[in-house]
Amino acid sequence: MTDTIIIEKAQAWLNSNIDEKSKAEIHALLNAQDQTELIDSFYKDLEFGTGGLRGLMGVGSNRMNVYTIGMATQGLANYLKASFPEEEISLAITHDSRINNTLFAETTANVLTANGIKVKYFRDMRPTPMLSFAIRHYGCKSGVMVTASHNPKEYNGYKVYWDDGGQVVAPHDKNIIAEVMKIKSIDDVNWAKDDTLKEYIEEDFDNIYLDEVKNLSMSPLTNLAEKDMTIVFSPIHGASGKMVPDALKVFGFENVHVVKEQIEPDGNFPTVKYPNPEETEALDLSIKLAKEINAELVLACDPDGDRYAAVVKNENNDYELLNGNQTGALIIYYLLNMYREQGRLTGNQFTVSTIVTTGLLGEISKGFGVEYYDVLTGFKNIAAVILANEGKKEFIAGGEESYGFLVGDFVRDKDGVSACAVVAEIMAYYKQKGLNIIDVLAEIYMEYGFYKEALISITKKGKDGAEQIQELMKGFRTNKPKSINGIAVSKIVDVQESISYDMKSGTEEKLELDKSNVIQFYLEDGSKISARPSGTEPKIKYYISVNENLPNRDAYRATEASLEAKISALKSFFE
């Protein structure tokens, strides 16, 4: 896109019916000596990635603001009316604690009601999994969650859900975008809200959701015996400050301490650099409190409550953050063990994970004779598998390496609220057996292999950054590496081209996965590296997975160190 076209696009916004503050901001961008911000604000329209709309807040077509939300919502409304022409349409909406979120959620509701669509609107902010559950419970055709998940405070987002409670997938995602692209002007949006079509979801809905969460408990008597287990929880200034303690309570845990400095919802996230429970810095206050009260388990959620993190005491009595692959393995292993003990394994059940998540989840599932699905990145693809098997097979659990997991199918997105309760139960169960969580991981690794993963995220900002990422991926395709860090590449999987290349024989196989801009390198020593541009951020991500046998419990830390050395060597190739 040329600068002339960008200026014309900015002028079109100025000539539309936007507010004076936004007009002043556009004038400032046009008059600025450095045009970088102007270009980045208008060089493209926000697109749906793996998580819907997400971007920096500000003025412009490539920013999150009431106008881009209004246009997206108008497109969504048009698509809903075309998809359900003879039916009453309702849509559920909520939001987390981010700046502008009430405004953005209200804007969404206003445009929908202006188009004759009924809105079920949460009275107060609630976690993402409750939005998914509300769609299913109330029989809504769609839903919108206003959140940017764990991104920095400058970001916001808009996640669209379909009638199954999962995020929109093909063909709906592309069709909604096609409808949005038909809207050429902000003035094409119907802003004339109809409040008679807006109905509030009140606090009593919390108990309906919590009843479903309670049913996930596999060992209520264990929880009763360990009801005084000391747990620390932090919502990191987000929307889960009420629901996670409530979920722990319905599971039977009564000794829960919420981090007081982080309990209040605040979109500035004042106590952390990033509100991301994957980052240990975001958990500093939680671990500080845990040390003060000698807590046995630390739990935290990101702002919209779909991702969670767990910190446990290791064999040295130090607090250790488990990564998403480890907590995922613990959940799958525990659930399948309990299903087997209780005679509930039927041979007609399944688990799901993504192609960049640890291969350990698949190995555990297969070890219990449970079918395992490997899908593209993005929890919406896990939800799609659950939907495809509905009424035919039972979904037990599934998740991603990025600290997102789902147990049971009453929700169709990551559920950090219920996951926190399940992890607490796992902790209690093995505590009763005299084991700490690292001991349990060692058990898993001895049986299925010691897997260790790492993620490299390289940020490339703006229009130039997006082009650099495209060139990197193009380079991997045109100049296939024969070795990485001195280790031969045995296979390359190009998900975009739906082809798997055997590097030894030179043969190709077609993939059954949907197309996605992902390239995976399988090395002769069992390592795997997946390269994927982020769908929601200006980043290229490299997912590294290595594994070795673990001969015994005593070799845990030495084997871990060996795997970390492998990862470090592989990282140097890509950084």
Based on the fold, state whether residues 244 and 131 are members of the same structural domain. no
Tens of pLDDT along 369-379?
Answer: 999 999 998 89
Based on the fold, state whether residues 360 and 468 are members of the same structural domain. no
Query: Which pLDDT value is given to residue 365?
Result: 99
Query: Which pLDDT value is given to residue 316?
Result: 95
Retrieve residue 543's tokens: 């997912």
End-of-domain residue from the set 448, 465, 481: 448
Based on the fold, state whether residues 539 and 403 are members of the same structural domain. no
Find the CATH number of the domain harbouring 291: 3.40.120.10
Residue type at 111 in one-letter notation: V
Quote the number of domains for the chain: 3
8 lies in a domain? no
Query: Which pLDDT value is given to residue 536?
Result: 62
37 lies in a domain? no
Query: Which pLDDT value is given to residue 527?
Result: 97
What are the two backbone dihedrals, phi and then psi, of residue 374, each rounded to the nearest 5 degrees?
Answer: -110, 120
Kindly tell me if the per-residue pLDDT of 6 is higher than 50: yes
Q: Does pTM top 0.85 for this prediction?
A: yes
14 lies in a domain? no
Q: Which residues pair with 455 in a beta bridge?
A: 543
Q: Could you tell me the pLDDT band of residue 262, with boundaries at 50, 70 and 90?
A: very high
Kindly tell me if the per-residue pLDDT of 120 is higher than 60: yes
Based on the fold, state whether residues 374 and 427 are members of the same structural domain. yes
Query: Which pLDDT value is given to residue 48?
Result: 65
Kindly tell me if the per-residue pLDDT of 464 is higher than 60: yes
Mean pLDDT within 283-306:
99
Based on the fold, state whether residues 274 and 292 are members of the same structural domain. yes
Kindly tell me if the per-residue pLDDT of 332 is higher than 80: yes
Query: Which pLDDT value is given to residue 534?
Result: 81
Higher pLDDT, 560 or 72: 560
Kindly tell me if the per-residue pLDDT of 463 is higher than 80: no
| 105 contacts 146 by C-beta, under 8 angstroms | yes
Kindly tell me if the per-residue pLDDT of 2 is higher than 70: no
Active site residue 234: no
347: DSSP letter: S
Mean pLDDT within 550-562:
98
31 lies in a domain? no
491 lies in a domain? yes
Percentage of the residues of the chain whose pLDDT score is greater than 70: 98
End-of-domain residue from the set 420, 448, 476: 448
Find the CATH number of the domain harbouring 463: 3.30.310
Mean pLDDT within 16-40:
94
Kindly tell me if the per-residue pLDDT of 565 is higher than 50: yes
Q: 182-191, 235-244, 434-443: which range is least confident on average?
A: 182-191
Based on the fold, state whether residues 217 and 88 are members of the same structural domain. no
Retrieve residue 417's tokens: 């609220």
Query: Which pLDDT value is given to residue 462?
Result: 75
Percentage of the residues of the chain whose pLDDT score is greater than 90: 88
| 449 contacts 547 by C-beta, under 8 angstroms | yes
C-alpha angle 423-429-431 in degrees, rounded to nearest 5: 100
* Residue from 149, 353, 500, 530 carrying the catalytic annotation: 149
Other Cβ atoms less than 10 A from the Cβ of 19: the count is 11
Based on the fold, state whether residues 408 and 283 are members of the same structural domain. yes
Kindly tell me if the per-residue pLDDT of 49 is higher than 70: no
Q: Could you tell me the pLDDT band of residue 496, with boundaries at 50, 70 and 90?
A: very high
Closest CA to 75 of 144, 167, 136, 131: 144
Based on the fold, state whether residues 456 and 440 are members of the same structural domain. no
12 lies in a domain? no
Mean pLDDT of the residues in the chain: 95
The parent domain of residue 54 ranges over: 44-203
Tens of pLDDT along 400-449?
Answer: 999 999 999 999 999 999 999 999 999 999 999 999 999 999 999 999 99
* CB-based burial label for 175 (10 Å; 0-12, 13-18, 19+): middle
Based on the fold, state whether residues 293 and 419 are members of the same structural domain. yes
What are the two backbone dihedrals, phi and then psi, of residue 522, each rounded to the nearest 5 degrees?
Answer: -100, 125
Q: Could you tell me the pLDDT band of residue 1, with boundaries at 50, 70 and 90?
A: very low
36 lies in a domain? no
366 lies in a domain? yes
Based on the fold, state whether residues 424 and 497 are members of the same structural domain. no
Retrieve residue 250's tokens: 């319905």
What's the CA gap between 43 and 182, in Å, rounded? Answer: 18
| 520 contacts 498 by C-beta, under 8 angstroms | no
Retrieve residue 68's tokens: 């881009």
Based on the fold, state whether residues 313 and 370 are members of the same structural domain. yes
C-alpha angle 98-460-516 in degrees, rounded to nearest 5: 85
End-of-domain residue from the set 173, 203, 233: 203
Q: Could you tell me the pLDDT band of residue 183, with boundaries at 50, 70 and 90?
A: confident
Based on the fold, state whether residues 273 and 388 are members of the same structural domain. yes
